[in-house]
Amino acid sequence: MNEPENTGFSRRQFLGASLAVGTTAAAGGMGIGMYSQAVQADKKEAQSPHVPPGELDEYYGFWSGGQSGEVRIVGVPSMRLLMSIPVFNRDSGTGWGLTNESKRILGDSLKWQNGDTHHIHMSYTAGKYDGRYLFVNDKANTRVARIRCDVMKTDKITIIPNVSCIHGLRLQKAPKTGYVFANGEMIIPQPNDGRDLDKPENYWTLFSALNAETMEVAWQVIVDGNLDNVDTDYTGRFAFSTCYNSERGVVLADMMRAERDWVVVFDIPRIEAAIKEGKATTIGESKVPVLDGRAKAAMNITAYIPIPKNPHGCNTSPDGKYVMANGKLSPTVSVIEIAKLADLMDGKLKDPRETVIAEPELGLGPLHTTFDGRGNAYTSLFLDSQVVKWGIEDSIKAYRGEKVNYIRQKIDIHYQIGHLKATMAESSGADGKWLVALCKFSKDRFLNVGPLRAENDQLIDISGDEMKLVHDGPTIPEPHDCIMVHRDIVKPLRVWKRDDPYFAETVALAKKDGVTLESESKVIREGNQVRVYMTSMAPVFGLTEFKVKKGDEVTVTITNLDTVEDLAHGFVLVNHGICMEVSPQMTSSVTFIADRPGVHWYYCVWFCHALHMEMSGRMLVEA
């Protein structure tokens, strides 16, 4: 075992008072590895991230895409980008935001073209990833989306009422994912209808629970302070949220005033019981039941545990014993013992701080923590640009006064790390093989591409005693978080099933028109509405031409009859701003106005056949 020295403490004293302003002022400035700690090289050679041609990655990585608004699938350990899944953004190739199928899912979201995905998580059964769904937040437009893992398409988007910015997002882990928990970050007047504009003392935010199956908001809880990140326990009873703005300030200086903010504990069964007992109200026009979880309401559905200072990440250990609140402006991570929370809720503890059983000093700017399933935690240090590996049980001993060194190793990363994640780490199946460090700055690590740069997702081998950096992975700004799930758990389809709900409504409309999509191509006119049904099979569309009149509302529905894996077609209508994906056995449709007379070509946009260039046709628009 390595015995590195813990130099973190003296460094903290050295920087002392400037700590509070550090995070905001020094972004991009400090921490390029001046304080790297040497560990005795461990004899085990680093695992190779190289996946030879023709072989497959061991893990599916699911990356939030940040302000790109999308989700990405990355192969790990090769770090090859495999696919992007449009969610809150618009997508030129698949037609996400253009097709009728995507418009139905976007619903009221169609009016917004951007999103900001931070936290992505996979549904659980009994604490283990179950490969059914992914859920992701949109900080920018206060939404939560669900992605179906069988087809890797977004299938539900919900706008959350009464809050501004959904930031933290986590799932109930047991017995299976019933609720999706979503943190409202910013505080606003309630209801936010123009009242109290200049009265921040009347601003509040809420914690939201969505039903994972229906994606409807089941209930909300109004809280003191604000809400940053969230995690849950492994029994299904508790959720925990960090709060950096206990001061309920509206400017930075106010948000940093207190030495401690807190973690809010939510007792889910008690919240459900209180709603059943009719204790909920509603806010404004929303019909969602709202409970008052503020301390002064004394409803006994929440508890507030003081934590230093402006804490950020919130991470439950895979054994279900602890939840870590990452100090950000404090060099510490606070370790809360989950077994003590029942007593806390029952009022049996004198001081909620009794639930904190360790507070290791780790370095500057601790943001997030991940786990290897072997008792070690790994915390990202934004200001130090390091990952610190530490022993959880040793940190507990040290807190009790025993003389133990809980720091195992610090490794430099490049640079300014936010989230970090180990393989399978947010499930009881944490396997401690790889760790990804999502670095906000790449600076000199890649070719200069101008003022806007890629970020750097670094791959670290954590399978041995020593962390070893093995790969730099450029990534388009800016994923905040990722999860890595073993490939045995994720089982996507190879071709669509004809009865898929994704296009069921389109199929039903065709049925009303008496059209059998799987074999027929025809044009149906009803007034100035024209419905064009055609098949596609490499290298031909079922119709090589169709005729409409200027001003007609035209719906083109295409069904891909090919059953060959990977044989997608696409439909582009030239100079009409239309493109859509039609993957094997999929039906896609798009509606537009034929506003210009003339000959307008359409063509297939996926290279599907030697005669792909010839896969085209004409829309003839009469004046």
User: Contact positions toward ligand CUA, by CB under 6 A?
Assistant: 538-539, 569, 604, 606-608, 612, 615
Q: Considering the rule CB under 6 A, would residue 480 count as an interface residue with ligand CUK?
A: yes
Distance CA 587, CA 562 (A): 11
Q: Which of these, 392, 374, 381, lies nearest to 464 by C-alpha position?
A: 374
Query: Of 138, 65, 68, 57, whose CA–CA distance to 490 is shortest?
Result: 57
Cross-strand partners of 147: 134, 154
Question: Which lies closer to ligand CUA via its Cβ, residue 406 or residue 606?
Answer: 606
Residue 367 in contact with ligand CUK, rule: CB under 6 A: yes
Residue 419 vs residues 140, 456, 587, 601: alpha-carbon distances, Å = 19, 12, 38, 47
Q: Which is nearer to ligand CUK, 167 or 389 (by Cβ)?
A: 167
Q: How far is the CB of 569 from ligand CUA (least distance, A)?
A: 4
Contact 537, 561 (CB under 8 A): yes
Tell me, what DSSP letter sits at residue 481?
-
Judge residue 195's burial from the number of C-beta atoms within 10 Å of its C-beta, 0-12 exposed, 13-18 middle, 19 or more buried: exposed
310 binds ligand CUK, rule: CB under 6 A? no
Nearest-CB residue to ligand CUK?
418
Q: What is the C-alpha to C-alpha distance for residues 499 and 503, in angstroms, rounded to an integer?
A: 8
Q: Is 470 left (phi over 0), alpha (psi -120 to 50) or beta?
A: alpha
Beta carbon of residue 495, minimum distance to ligand CUK (angstroms, whole number): 36
The total number of residues written for the chain in this structure = 623
Residue whose tokens read 């490499």: 538
Q: Rule CB under 6 A: which of 406-425 touch ligand CUK?
A: 418-419
Nearest residue to 220 via CA among 138, 302, 157, 305 = 302
Q: Of 397 and 609, which CB lies nearer to ligand CUA in the complex structure? A: 609
261 binds Ca ion (CB under 5 A): yes
DSSP 8-state class, residue 41: P
Separation CA 471–CA 116 (nearest Å): 26
Here the tokens at position 532 are 């064009």
310 binds Ca ion (CB under 5 A): yes
Residue 608, binding choice from Ca ion, ligand CUA, ligand CUK, none, Cβ under 5 to 8 Å by partner class? ligand CUA
User: What does 261 interact with, of ligand CUA, Ca ion, ligand CUK, none (CB < 5 to 8 A by kind)?
Assistant: Ca ion
**C-beta closer to Ca ion: residue 183 or 310:** 310
Structural contact between residues 257 and 304, judged by C-beta atoms closer than 8 angstroms: no
Q: Tokens for 451?
A: 């003022």
Residue pair 480/470 in contact by the 8 Å Cβ criterion: no
**Binding partner of 229, given ligand CUA, ligand CUK, Ca ion, none, CB within 5-8 angstroms per partner class:** ligand CUK
Residue 418 interacts with, from Ca ion, ligand CUA, ligand CUK, none (CB under 5-8 Å by kind): ligand CUK
Tell me if 119 contacts ligand CUK by CB under 6 A.
yes
Partner whose footprint covers residue 310, from ligand CUA, Ca ion, ligand CUK, none (CB < 5 to 8 Å by kind): Ca ion
Q: How far is the CB of 480 from ligand CUK (least distance, A)?
A: 4
Residue selected from 143, 167, 173, 531 as contacting ligand CUK according to rule CB under 6 A: 167
CA distances from 180 to 132, 283, 575 (A): 14, 21, 42
Sequence-distant (6+) residues with CB within 8 A of 96 are 86, 89, 90, 102, 154
Which of ligand CUA, ligand CUK, Ca ion, none does 118 bind, CB closer than 5 to 8 A by kind?
ligand CUK
- What is d(CA 363, CA 384) in angstroms, rounded to the nearest whole number? 7
Cβ(169)–Cβ(231) under 8 Å? Answer: no
Taking the complex as a whole, how short is the minimal distance between the CB of residue 363 and Ca ion, in angstroms?
20
Which lies closer to ligand CUA via its Cβ, residue 601 or residue 607? 607
480 binds, among Ca ion, ligand CUK, ligand CUA, none (CB under 5 to 8 A by kind): ligand CUK
Indicate which single residue of 143, 146, 156, 312 sits in contact with ligand CUK (rule: CB under 6 A). 312
CB 579 within 8 A of CB 571: yes
Residue 89 or 416 having the CB closest to ligand CUK: 416
Residue 481, contacted partner among Ca ion, ligand CUK, ligand CUA, none, CB below 5-8 A by kind: ligand CUK
Q: Between residues 216 and 254, which has the closer beta carbon with respect to Ca ion?
A: 254
**255 or 290: whose CB is closer to Ca ion?**
255
Question: How far apart are CB 559 and ligand CUA at their closest, in Å?
Answer: 13
Quick one: which of 476, 559, 568 has its CA closest to 519? 559
Q: Residue 604 binds which one of ligand CUK, Ca ion, ligand CUA, none, with CB within 5 to 8 A depending on kind?
A: ligand CUA
Which residue, 131, 126, 125, is CA-closest to 148? 131
Q: Where are the beta strands (DSSP E) in 300-395?
A: 302-308, 314-316, 322-326, 333-337, 356-358, 366-371, 376-381, 386-391
Residue 312 interface partner, choices ligand CUK, ligand CUA, Ca ion, none, CB cut-off 5-8 Å depending on type? ligand CUK
Asked whether the beta carbons of 586 and 503 are under 8 A apart, the reply is yes
Minimum distance between the CB of residue 536 and ligand CUA, rounded to whole angstroms? 6
Nearer to ligand CUA, 378 or 606 (CB): 606
CA distance 157 to 147: 9
Query: Which one, 101 or 455, has the nearer CB to ligand CUK?
Result: 455
Binding part of the chain for Ca ion, among 138-146, 261-269, 311-319, 421-429 by CB under 5 A, reads 261-269
The three-state (H, E, C) secondary structure of 113-142, written as one string: CCCCECCEEEEEECCEEEEEEEEEEECCCC
Indicate which of ligand CUA, Ca ion, ligand CUK, none lies near residue 538 (CB less than 5 to 8 Å, by partner kind). Answer: ligand CUA
118 binds ligand CUK (CB under 6 A): yes
Q: Is 241 in the site for Ca ion (CB under 5 A)?
A: no
| Partner whose binding site includes residue 410, from ligand CUK, ligand CUA, Ca ion, none (CB under 5 to 8 Å by kind) | none
End-to-end CA, the chain:
82
Q: How far is the CB of 604 from ligand CUA (least distance, A)?
A: 3
Contacts with Ca ion, residue ranges (CB under 5 A) = 255, 258, 261, 310
Contacts with ligand CUK, residue ranges (CB under 6 A) = 118-119, 167, 229, 312-313, 367-368, 418-419, 480-481
